[in-house]
Amino acid sequence: MRVFSASLATETNTFGPMPTGLASFKDRGHFPAGKHPDAMTLFSGPLWAARMRGADKGWQLFEGMVAGAQPSGTTTRHAYETLRDELLGDLRAVLPVDMVLLGLHGAMVAEGYDDCEGDLLARVRQIVGPKVVIGAELDPHNHLTPEMVANSDLMISFKEYPHTDVLERGLELVDICAAMVEGKVKPVAAVVDCDMIVTVHTSREPALGFVKRMQSLEGKDGVLSVSLTHGFSWGDVPEMGTKVLVYTDGDQAKADALARQLADEVIAMRDGLTVNYPSIDASLDEALAFDGGPVVLSDGADNPGGGAASDSTFILRRMLERGIANAALGPLWDPIAVRIAFDAGVGAKLAMRIGGKISPLSGDPLDVECTVKALMHDLVMTGLAGTPTPMGDCALIETNGIEIVLITLRNQAMGTDLFTQLGCDLAAKKIIVVKSSQHFYASYSKVAKHVIYAGAPGAVTLDLNTLPYKKARLPKWPITA
Ligand SMILES: [Zn+2]
């Protein structure tokens, strides 16, 4: 079997303060055809799974470009078209193929393209023709457009949030697509729009049980695959929202009925899924009142994984004003401050201006007297599913009893080794503030005695009714505007 795999992925926060250009892909990872490293990356699950299966089954695997950017604002037309055409060129160069396996996000928006994945899949279909199997692995924070469904044979989203199941879903994708090439199955799709947008933390009920419910249906009674699109509220496109996607083996009526049934189940549990976000001061009060520690505070509104800058100072400012010590915070994206810390050296005491640089959504910068505690070139954090995640040159500074990790490559807090590699003893802290909405949970829950999802201002504001939507179809529960 001749198999082609490639990836093009980012999640676009159309309200985000910074454009996503080619440099954003170079920063996170842009591997030309045949140059993917010997480790899985977040959106190369299909390629990695195809390497594993292909080795067993003697496939001829052609590895195209793999490119992913840290989520940010709208992708430039130049970046999208350049990378899209590179991927399509890689595909054309190895024709004919039996199967195309793509690692996508599903919520990439570029100038002139509200639905990058729909555009890309349509072009792939045009190149390979109607008989070649096209499969894609998606992030559940996708927009699941009709064009994406129509121009692919199978799409499978990660089921877990935090996304710890990249490889498992990639293997499922590869196996079902291979069965389709061999004529053993014929997937037919059904999509039901839940007409709402909800956060789905699978680390706790009721979503924990819903993941098991979806998996209990798969692989029997003609049901091939079930995916829940959580949706991405910060992408202002017509198709934004929570949806259910079901594939059965040739039975459209069954797919339609099951998708409807599961959508009704998700709608019925939406109040239970909704996350409570106390204000900054209420979050700090709750953390201080908690007996013991560490208490982990999620600053989801400044999560770079949702397109924020990761340099907001709202929570840090209140901690300093309130004299809260024995705390850690990170990662704060501030390459200039890192540069100054490296110049000053470990042990230096100096005045620094940190954070609050990118836009009003980051708050104002903070002027602090600090000590440089540790410096590390090219720190690599352990990311989701063990994927190595570069953070660039990093500095640990301390001010008023708060240790802060400054980074040069934007990425959210996923592994606790972001702090511990710099000598920050997380277990001894009372409060740990992480720039992350939920991916932090996989690793930080191992040290946390309590977790609070704080409601701070920022580019990934959790108060959706304040976002200036223009294209999303509204009202859409809980967005009333
Ligand atoms: Zn996601």
Any residues with CB less than 8 A from the CB of 271 and at least 6 apart, and which?
A: none
- Classify residue 430: in a domain, yes or no: yes
- Classify residue 146: in a domain, yes or no: yes
Question: Could you give the CA distance from residue 243 to residue 229 in angstroms, rounded to a whole number?
Answer: 5
Closest CA to 231 of 219, 215, 223, 242: 242
Q: Which amino acid, one-letter code, is at 238? A: P
pLDDT tens-digit map of 340-376:
999 999 999 999 999 999 999 999 999 999 999 999 9
Residues 289 and 259 placed together within one structural domain of the fold = no
Residues 347 and 227 placed together within one structural domain of the fold = no
- Classify residue 310: in a domain, yes or no: yes
Residues 177 and 34 placed together within one structural domain of the fold = yes
Residues 261 and 305 placed together within one structural domain of the fold = no
Q: Quick one: tokens of 440?
A: 């932090």
What pLDDT is recorded for position 55?
94
Residues 129 and 206 placed together within one structural domain of the fold = yes
Q: What's the CA-to-centroid distance between 353 and ligand 1, angstroms?
A: 32
Query: Residue 373 gets which letter from DSSP?
Result: E
Q: What's the CA-to-centroid distance between 313 and ligand 1, angstroms?
A: 24
The Cα-based distances of 445 to 68, 320, 415, 432, 434 in angstroms read 27, 25, 10, 11, 12
Total-model pTM: 0.96
Q: What's the CA-to-centroid distance between 13 and ligand 1, angstroms?
A: 12
Q: Pick the last residue of a domain from 273, 289, 315.
A: 273
- Domain around 9: 2-273
Question: Could you give the CA distance from residue 90 to residue 84 in angstroms, rounded to a whole number?
Answer: 10
Q: What's the CA-to-centroid distance between 171 and ligand 1, angstroms?
A: 19
Q: Three-state DSSP class for 259?
A: helix
- Classify residue 91: in a domain, yes or no: yes
Q: What's the CA-to-centroid distance between 438 and ligand 1, angstroms?
A: 9
Residues with pLDDT less than 70, the chain: 481
Q: What's the CA-to-centroid distance between 27 and ligand 1, angstroms?
A: 19
The Cα-based distances of 28 to 20, 160, 181, 392, 475 in angstroms read 12, 22, 33, 10, 35
Q: What's the CA-to-centroid distance between 273 and ligand 1, angstroms?
A: 16
- Classify residue 476: in a domain, yes or no: no
- The CB density around residue 120, as the number of other CB atoms within 10 Å, is 25
Residues 268 and 298 placed together within one structural domain of the fold = no
Q: What's the CA-to-centroid distance between 10 and ligand 1, angstroms?
A: 10
Question: Could you give the CA distance from residue 325 to residue 42 in angstroms, rounded to a whole number?
Answer: 35
Q: Which amino acid, one-letter code, is at 471? A: K
Domain count, the chain: 2
Token look-up 């209140």 returns: 318
- The CB density around residue 12, as the number of other CB atoms within 10 Å, is 30
Q: What's the CA-to-centroid distance between 141 and ligand 1, angstroms?
A: 5
Residues 345 and 382 placed together within one structural domain of the fold = yes
Question: Could you give the CA distance from residue 229 to residue 46 in angstroms, rounded to a whole number?
Answer: 18
Q: What's the CA-to-centroid distance between 11 and ligand 1, angstroms?
A: 8
Residues 42 and 187 placed together within one structural domain of the fold = yes
Residues 256 and 348 placed together within one structural domain of the fold = no
What pLDDT is recorded for position 373?
98
pLDDT tens-digit map of 296-327:
999 999 999 999 999 999 999 999 999 999 99
Q: What's the CA-to-centroid distance between 159 and ligand 1, angstroms?
A: 10
Residues 260 and 288 placed together within one structural domain of the fold = no
What pLDDT is recorded for position 369?
98
Question: Could you give the CA distance from residue 446 to residue 428 in angstroms, rounded to a whole number?
Answer: 13
Q: Quick one: tokens of 307?
A: 């397109």
Q: What's the CA-to-centroid distance between 12 and ligand 1, angstroms?
A: 11
- Written as one string, the DSSP assignment of 115-151 is -HHHHHHHHHHHHH-TTSEEEEEE-SS----HHHHHT
Q: Pick the last residue of a domain from 255, 273, 291.
A: 273
CATH of the domain at 130: 3.40.50.2300
Q: Pick the last residue of a domain from 273, 295, 314.
A: 273
Residues 251 and 366 placed together within one structural domain of the fold = no
Q: What's the CA-to-centroid distance between 322 and ligand 1, angstroms?
A: 34
Q: What's the CA-to-centroid distance between 384 and ligand 1, angstroms?
A: 11
Token look-up 């859409």 returns: 476
What angle separates helix 77-92 from helix 116-128, to the nearest 10 degrees?
20
- Classify residue 136: in a domain, yes or no: yes
What pLDDT is recorded for position 166?
96
Q: What's the CA-to-centroid distance between 360 and ligand 1, angstroms?
A: 25
- Classify residue 474: in a domain, yes or no: no
Question: Could you give the CA distance from residue 374 to residue 396 in angstroms, rounded to a whole number?
Answer: 5
Residues 148 and 179 placed together within one structural domain of the fold = yes
Beta strand pairing call for 402-407 and 388-399: antiparallel
Closest CA to 355 of 439, 433, 239: 433
Identify the bridge partners of residue 233 per DSSP, sorted by sequence position.
none
- Classify residue 289: in a domain, yes or no: yes
Q: Where does 369-459 have alpha helices with state H?
A: 417-420, 441-444
Residues belonging to the chain:
481
Q: What's the CA-to-centroid distance between 139 and ligand 1, angstroms?
A: 5
Q: What's the CA-to-centroid distance between 158 and ligand 1, angstroms?
A: 8
